[in-house]
Structure 1
């Protein structure tokens, strides 16, 4: 007779491998026929000593019923996850038959099992730092106030598990470290509430895809705490100052918009008012346009100085933020991009307006010149008319 394993776990694996006509007979129960070459009574005796593994056995047809999951033997990972106790703590010994895996501390597990071990570890860490537990630990609460709280249902599936590269560092830095324990717990709570601010309840499976982002945010907050800052405070201040700077930049044009509206009117006035029959009137109009252009030029220069001052303030704030720890500074580096583009845009607009004013003054001056010095203006007109032909002739030579 062949030897029958005595240890419950090995006996369950042996039965699954040796029984013929094996079938699921309800729940987690399995049943099959023991081949004649094996000692039926020895199997029954070992099952009787295996606690909850054994079921109903019939010596007439050599039928063996047993419950492999009761001793940690599962057909699939999905079946393993269907037992809620496995989600929060790892069994001392378990097997997943379709993966060909039996737990062994001396050999590395396959990726899927490692992902499960990481998820189970994280589950226990979350339980350690939660503010309140309910439903025998199946619900973990993080509570900041009556209106700011999050419930995490400790439920997840085989599809939810994944690699958690930051898990070990998170445990060392935020759970096991003795430094700033209360503050770190507050940071964990605040980070979770901020990450899921539109939800009151999530499953642990929903949290797993966001774990790396959660750790990054928590590290940033802790880095700022050690520098006597808070992530939320800096973000609020940066966003507020950027908004104020945007408004100030917009005002650099809006503050002179009334004067800008006078530009076409000035050109129309000059065109209609400059007349060779009234030299004094034409000169007076030119003087007025010149004064107006000079004032506009000064206003635009002043607005350009304002834009440059705002740009310097932005640079100073970026330098100060860059002095923060890298984990903090890198989170805000992109927030200045739009503002810097706005500075470039406003500078270009003001420079464009400056040249429009200059062109208007030149046009009006030319109009006055043609009135005051008609003999020269005719020569100038002839010169301008002949210029294209002269250029062509020069090219042919």
Structure 2
């Protein structure tokens, strides 16, 4: 304490050790030399007396540590802090309903701004002040003196910030923290607050003016839901054009890749009739070893070799289609998860790509089937036309050579 100046800490020590007998008279237990010095100061200094508004009821009282004296305790200067009877008295002030006073003391439960650990009521009050702050940021105008939030939709909507100590039981501190988290971040900060403002207007429009703020206190969870849903819709709309552009680009790339699986073997397909039917017509019917038999062996071996190559190519392209299908599935899952609100706009594109993959798989399976049938037909034709033992002829021919 410097000179004759009174501090809030000095007053707080007196308030905490006082037992009020009525609105102003209290029994004060002098638990420290600091309290004794403060009482002496208010008795000797007009400035200290007017700032503290504290006076001894007995001028001859002994100001010693451990003694109990009767004092009159009035309201201190507002620049020091607030001394109120109970929570309702604190909340009677419009300013105290808009922001927490920097210094206050409540006589009924001896709660003050530095109470540790904070009481349940103090926690709920601070959560309510946090809610008021968030709503004030979203409002078109926040009147601190009249404790009123003003919104504008189709018409002017006012939300008087009115609540009592009993109403503090309605606030859920965890939900207020969730709402604060839903609004935090610099990205799209204005849009988030605008979404909150729309949610507030929608919720309070059907409520009487006096009960609007209390209704919001009871429905913070609904505010959170509307803010989150509204922001997801905004983010989806914001990203729609970008997603569409990227999807159209990737769609054309997928179409080209899927088409390539067929075009890569298209040239080989032209040889399929030759390898199956046409070559069979070139076979002779030799009865002994000779050029006709060797020609038949060469034809059937070439046809089988071609069919094997074509089947291998088809299997390779089938694996490529599997990879493309897996990528498409991943893209669809990401779209459904991150942009569920607009996923239906792109479902047709993914379905078309899946259909194209399915079609090419059917074509590949058909080609493999035709190759097997063609090779089988060629072998069958060889068996029917060739009566000589080709292996013996080839061995003997090699030995003779």
TM range (shorter): 0.3 to 0.5
- TM-score, normalised to structure 1's length? 0.47
